[in-house]
Structure 1
Amino acid sequence: MSEKNKKSIRVKIFGSEYPLRGDSEEFTRQVANYVDSMIDTVHKQIPDQPPLTVSVLSALNITEDLFKEKESANTIKTYLEDELTKMTQYLDSYLPKPEIGIEESNESISSE
């Protein structure tokens, strides 16, 4: 979506309002709510820390979650690729092989 077509919304994160633009208003709000929730959780654990410290620790927590999800997705992808390879090999071992290939078939037609 072009920059013109992105919807502009205002969200509140850690007590401050921010104007944001995104393809989907609902998705942008979900992301903002997640960030606000994470900051609120960290702030409750360390209420005496300055906002910058709370924000940095929240960013680290969010990034840790992201890295864990990426690792999990990669593990699942690798597993599925392995399973697909096994299934393909299994099917290849039981399906009859064509006696004549496409290239050979075309050659015999053109030579006639």
Structure 2
Amino acid sequence: MTGMQKQSIKVQIGGMEYSLKADAGSDYVQSIAAYVDEKFRRLSEKTSVTSQTKIAVLTALNIADELFRLKEKYDQLVKTVEEESRHLNQEIDQSVGQILKL
């Protein structure tokens, strides 16, 4: 929906209904909301905290922690792939050099 007007999408999180405006499709937004709702629900079942606001903040912190850990893994994978690519390019260059000497 890029370039189009944002659509209004209703989602449920923590028993509350929210109306969101998004460029993304409804299915995508609903999937994100379901993920957040599941995290919210699980945390509210595990904790003695009763404040919806505090549970929402703790849920946001938990999701941010997941994001940071995944970003760290992603960055490490990118670094590993780049190093391996450089190594393979060096091997290819050496092999081509040896072939050209023949």
Structure 1 position 42 matched with structure 2 position 43: yes
Aligned residue number for residue 27 of structure 1: 28
| TM-score in terms of structure 2 length | 0.86
The RMSD of aligned alpha carbons is 1.7
Q: Which has the higher contact order (CA 8 A, sep 6+)?
A: 2
| TM-score in terms of structure 1 length | 0.79
How many percent of aligned residue pairs carry the same amino acid? 28
Aligned residues: 97
Aligned residue number for residue 67 of structure 2: 66
Query: Which 5+ residue runs of structure 1 have no aligned equivalent?
Result: 100-112
Query: Which 5+ residue runs of structure 2 have no aligned equivalent?
Result: none
Paired with 2:49 and 2:20, the residues of 1 have a C-alpha distance of 29
User: Which structure has the larger Rg over C-alpha atoms?
Assistant: 1
Q: List structure 1 segments (4+ residues) > 6 angstroms apart after TM superposition.
A: none
- The aligned amino acid for 2:60 is A
Equivalent pair of 2:44/2:55 in contact (CA under 8 Å): yes
- The aligned amino acid for 2:19 is P
- The aligned amino acid for 2:86 is T
Change over 3 Å in CA distance of 1:3–1:54 after alignment to 2: farther
